Structure 1
Amino acid sequence: MKSRRLVTVLFALACLGLGYARAAVRAPNIVLIVSDDQGYPDLGIIGTKPILTPHLDRLAREGVRATNFYATWPACTPSRGSILTGRYPQRNGLYDNVRNDLVSYKHRYTAEEYALSPEMTLGLDPKEITIGNVLQSAGYRTGVVGKWDMGQAKRFLPLQRGFDFFYGHGNNGIDYYTHERYGIHSMFRGNVRTQADVGTYATELFKREALRFVDDNRRQPFFLYLAFNAPHFASNFEGGVQAPEAFVRRYPDMDPKERLTSYYAAVTCMDEAIGELLARLDQHGLAQDTLVLFLSDNGGSGNGGNHPLRGAKMTMWEGGLRVPFLARWPNRLPAGVVTNEFLTALEIFPSLVAAAGATPPENVVLDGFDLLPVLGGRKKSPRTEMFWERRGERAARVDNWKWISSPKDSSLFDLAKDIGETSDLTSSHPEIAARLADRFAAWKKLMDATEPRGPFRDY
């Protein structure tokens, strides 16, 4: 009898040990946070503006802040498409914004018109594989909260693109309170539009849904893509950034009617939502096992400028392309480190695949690499080149040289000495300008030769 009991106890201990072993090798949770039009200097920890971002500052103190990090396009849709696919916009096909341009002329779409408009009929090509597809296949519970921006027809929505959960809007902007886009209601739960939360500020809703997603999935590996529309201006005919009055009052020394005040307040409201998410990870004991990434989708707009950078959203200047980036992964990444390594949003997809121990998609060309060893200080960034194209505007960065070309002219800058792009060196270094122009042409030829993708390619 005693020996039988001993065997039973030993078996139980062995099972318990096996359980611990399984728990120890559980894949990490991943939280990817993207803000909208938040400028390079728009973090309190940088100290150049009176903007209040205590929770993002906490992420920076507890992780790594990158100062040399780029989006793939100077506006939202192509930039976010690259984050989700790990591919240049020119490779994944989504190389311009999906937008109904008639709203610029105050046209209010009827439901019938909207159903046939670009915002309802265009989106990320269904052949593209998203990071949601890869992590879902690896056993993750995957969710999107916020701005999807990859199309609104059912075939484009997250539940058909590798995600188990979706609450947010499929187009590239809404009114923060009515959730309409120039008169068309645009908030979704899953594949269905919902008006259940009309009247509640969008950032508050995205916070609520993000917290619920973490609560509901805390016992298994999860991937949360939390894509804010803040601090983008509201997509209504009045324009401007919308922010709750309580957050506007946090800036008593600024004019409450000024757009910049609302911009700061919208950022601070978003920051508080991020803080509550971080607190929920702490509450569930998940912080140590969760990789958190934060970045903006493109350069700042209506934010009082991006000094020391030149330019803003929709431009090829550094102020349109260089964005804030933060990463925290306790015991895996160092705390309080600032890196100036050359990195881009193309690195996010392969980095998340590596962090999850997942298998990269077969026969898919990815344009980035795993940046985690770089953030950890274990290696230098292998990136030496980056290219951008927006309609007639082109740009290339090779090492520290930056070349910009438009139908009007071209210019050359040494970013190692001139991050503000104030001194055009084309005349003094024509051979370097020619070399970068050649590198851009080679990249463009490569992109043109890739398997074509919709919605814009002619094939």
Structure 2
Amino acid sequence: MVSKDLKRGSSFLRATSSATVLWHCVQIVAATLVTLQPELVAAKQTNVLLIVSDDHHWADYGFMGHEHVRTPHLDRLARESRLFPRGYVTSSLCCPSLATIITGRYPHQHLITCNDPPEQRGVGRNTPDGRRLFIDGRERMNVHLEQTPTLPAMLAQSGYESFQTGKWWQGHFRRGGFTQGMTRGDRHGDEGLSIGRTSMQPIYDFVSHCRNDAKPFLVWYAPMLPHDPHDPSPDIVEHYAQCTQSKHIARYWGNIERFDRTVGDLLDFLDRENLSKETLVVYVTDNGWIQSMDKPGFAPRSKLSPYDGGLRTPIMLRQPGTITAGRSEAHVSSIDLAPTILAACGISPPPSLIGVNLLDESKVTAREEIFGECFTHTAIDLEHPEENLMWRWMVRGQWKLIVPATADGNVHQSAAKRWEARLVDPSSLEKFENAVVELYNIAADPEEKENCAVSHPDLVSDLRKRLDAWWKP
């Protein structure tokens, strides 16, 4: 946790007994500070607050037009940000998506493609053999991340402190390059999962520590919100129960409002501490979610699927006085966040990061397409991402192409594949097994209801060539 050694006394002042000498020294120091002030201001590094919501549909915000969900603080953030309402994450599942956000690389590059390591059918995870398999597999996944440069590790080279809170799958926080953090190694994030649900104080303490040490900082705020358990306070549930007949939707909406309030807490904290102009606030969700009407859990065509219900997210960048607020309809990706943050902090992104700096309008408008990939929930093979692959997808202009791995002819419809994909909704899984290629005009058909692949064969052929040029398993 955050060090309590936040105050350092001045040994010089304690040691000096002569008032005259002390007075002259104070004058010299004061004059020096005045002389250096312009240079100090010019050299001040940008802080970063990276906010990642969890299992959050792209339309479930006031600023995105939702009729019922109350998100005044996210709405404020949107008004004050460079807002990209047509953002995407690279994968519609928590663990690979978070790994992309923190590395700036696609899942098939950082090799964290699934939530969990391989299982042995018939061996329960809570049995001794099952626990051993799980621990060994998670360790291999953690090593993959350690072998990939992460955002906090790259920032540390320029003197940044970093603090991990909330969702974190890859072992102890230091394995991700964080200098401080809350998670010690459990699957979702152990102690880190208290952030946003019980307290925000660890973040405030960390920022105070950095200010006292004159250190720039990165805060990773990835609470398990609105992720289940959907357990907001009864008054919030009662409010939303007046807006929907589904108690499950009311609770999901309530968790969104709960998350929104924590965003307000963070923005107010930055204001109180006079840090708003010095801090880049970045927002994205890890993956989408469509709440089931009649039971807990997600509905079809959302999480774990190749559809916008699982992949699309608004992306926001705010730094008052530095970033001009406004709205861009360009398609952008979570692959862009790491290079954008590095550039905002005055650090040249390494050439291996192929995302674009979202603060460079010319680069944003010049890009013609974005890509992504969806895998099984539980891995089949931790070293070969193509073995876990379900779909590749891309967006170019108004068109979105979805290609199942079965359509590439190099993946057989094995019982193992179906088993590891068992959490995918039945409709999506059926299309996977039948090798159905899908093409949607997402401008005219944002819910992706009409598959245009048969009526546009030439376009499908062109887009598949582009998809293969990006990554062909």
Give the alignment's TM-score, normalised by structure 2: 0.76
State how far apart, in whole Å, the 1-side matches of 2:234 and 2:122 are. 30
- Confirm or deny: 8 A CA contact 1:314 1:320 kept in the other structure: yes
Which residue of the other structure, out of 359, 365, 369, is the alignment partner of 1:385? Answer: 369
Q: CA RMSD in A?
A: 3.1
Structure ranking higher in helix proportion: 2
Which residue of the other structure, out of 240, 251, 258, is the alignment partner of 1:269? Answer: 258
Query: CA, structure 1 residues 11+131, in 2 after alignment: closer, same or farther (shift >3 Å)?
Result: closer
Output the amino acid matched with 1:381: T
Q: Which residue of 1 aligns with 2:448?
A: 421
Local SS of the residue matching 1:145: strand
State how far apart, in whole Å, the 1-side matches of 2:246 and 2:347 are. 49
Offset at 1:313?
1.4
Local SS of the residue matching 1:421: coil
Which residue of the other structure, out of 327, 331, 337, is the alignment partner of 2:321? Answer: 331
Q: In the alignment, is residue 68 of structure 1 matched against residue 55 of structure 2? A: no
Output the amino acid matched with 2:288: G
Output the amino acid matched with 2:390: G
Q: Which residue of 1 aligns with 2:290?
A: 301
State how far apart, in whole Å, the 2-side matches of 1:303 and 1:64 are. 32
State how far apart, in whole Å, the 1-side matches of 2:237 and 2:128 are. 34
Task: Tell which has more relative contact order, 1 or 2 (C-alpha 8 A, sep 6+).
Answer: 1
Q: Which residue of 2 aligns with 1:41?
A: 59
- Structure 1 range deviating more: 266-275 or 128-137: 266-275
Aligned residues: 398
- Structure 1 range deviating more: 431-440 or 295-304: 295-304
Query: CA, structure 1 residues 203+14, in 2 after alignment: closer, same or farther (shift >3 Å)?
Result: closer
Query: CA, structure 1 residues 299+220, in 2 after alignment: closer, same or farther (shift >3 Å)?
Result: same
Q: Which residue of 1 aligns with 2:398?
A: 400
State how far apart, in whole Å, the 1-side matches of 2:24 and 2:207 are. 41
Q: In the alignment, is residue 230 of structure 1 matched against residue 225 of structure 2? A: yes
Local SS of the residue matching 1:74: coil
Query: CA, structure 1 residues 109+398, in 2 after alignment: closer, same or farther (shift >3 Å)?
Result: same
Offset at 1:88?
0.8
Offset at 1:31?
0.4
Q: In the alignment, is residue 114 of structure 1 matched against residue 131 of structure 2? A: yes
Q: In the alignment, is residue 166 of structure 1 matched against residue 181 of structure 2? A: yes
- Confirm or deny: 8 A CA contact 1:144 1:165 kept in the other structure: yes
State how far apart, in whole Å, the 2-side matches of 1:54 and 1:343 are. 24
State how far apart, in whole Å, the 1-side matches of 2:231 and 2:183 are. 17
Offset at 1:242?
2.9
Which residue of the other structure, out of 274, 284, 306, is the alignment partner of 1:285? Answer: 274
- Confirm or deny: 8 A CA contact 1:86 1:350 kept in the other structure: yes
- Confirm or deny: 8 A CA contact 1:147 1:169 kept in the other structure: no
Local SS of the residue matching 1:30: strand
Q: In the alignment, is residue 30 of structure 1 matched against residue 48 of structure 2? A: yes
- Confirm or deny: 8 A CA contact 1:148 1:169 kept in the other structure: no
Which residue of the other structure, out of 190, 194, 210, is the alignment partner of 1:187? Answer: 190
Local SS of the residue matching 2:196: helix
Query: CA, structure 1 residues 164+10, in 2 after alignment: closer, same or farther (shift >3 Å)?
Result: closer
Q: Which residue of 1 aligns with 2:413?
A: none
State how far apart, in whole Å, the 2-side matches of 1:389 and 1:47 are. 28
Local SS of the residue matching 1:372: coil
Offset at 1:289?
1.0
Offset at 1:172?
5.5
The C-alpha deviation readout for 1:355-378, integer Å capped at 9, x for no partner, is 1112434xx61120111123xxx6
Offset at 1:333?
1.6
State how far apart, in whole Å, the 2-side matches of 1:419 and 1:226 are. 30
Which residue of the other structure, out of 185, 201, 205, is the alignment partner of 1:208? Answer: 201
Give the alignment's TM-score, normalised by structure 1: 0.78
State how far apart, in whole Å, the 2-side matches of 1:77 and 1:172 are. 10
Percent identity between matched residues is 28
Query: CA, structure 1 residues 127+380, in 2 after alignment: closer, same or farther (shift >3 Å)?
Result: closer
Query: CA, structure 1 residues 202+351, in 2 after alignment: closer, same or farther (shift >3 Å)?
Result: closer
Query: CA, structure 1 residues 380+360, in 2 after alignment: closer, same or farther (shift >3 Å)?
Result: closer
Offset at 1:339?
1.4
Query: CA, structure 1 residues 81+270, in 2 after alignment: closer, same or farther (shift >3 Å)?
Result: same
Instruction: List aligned pairs for 1:52-131, cutoff 5 A.
Output: 52-98=70-116, 109=126, 113-117=130-134, 120-124=138-142, 125=144, 126-131=146-151
Output the amino acid matched with 1:302: Q
- Confirm or deny: 8 A CA contact 2:248 2:293 kept in the other structure: no
- Confirm or deny: 8 A CA contact 2:116 2:138 kept in the other structure: no
Output the amino acid matched with 1:83: I
Q: Which residue of 2 aligns with 1:260?
A: 249
Output the amino acid matched with 1:344: S
Point out where structure 2 has 5 or more consecutive residues left out of the alignment: 1-22, 295-299, 375-388, 407-433
Offset at 1:435?
1.1
- Confirm or deny: 8 A CA contact 2:358 2:364 kept in the other structure: no
Which residue of the other structure, out of 368, 371, 392, is the alignment partner of 2:355? Answer: 368
Offset at 1:440?
1.8
Output the amino acid matched with 2:359: L
Point out where structure 1 has 5 or more consecutive residues left out of the alignment: 174-185, 190-199, 235-240, 449-459
Offset at 1:101?
6.2
- Confirm or deny: 8 A CA contact 2:356 2:363 kept in the other structure: no
- Structure 1 range deviating more: 225-234 or 408-417: 408-417
Offset at 1:10?
8.5
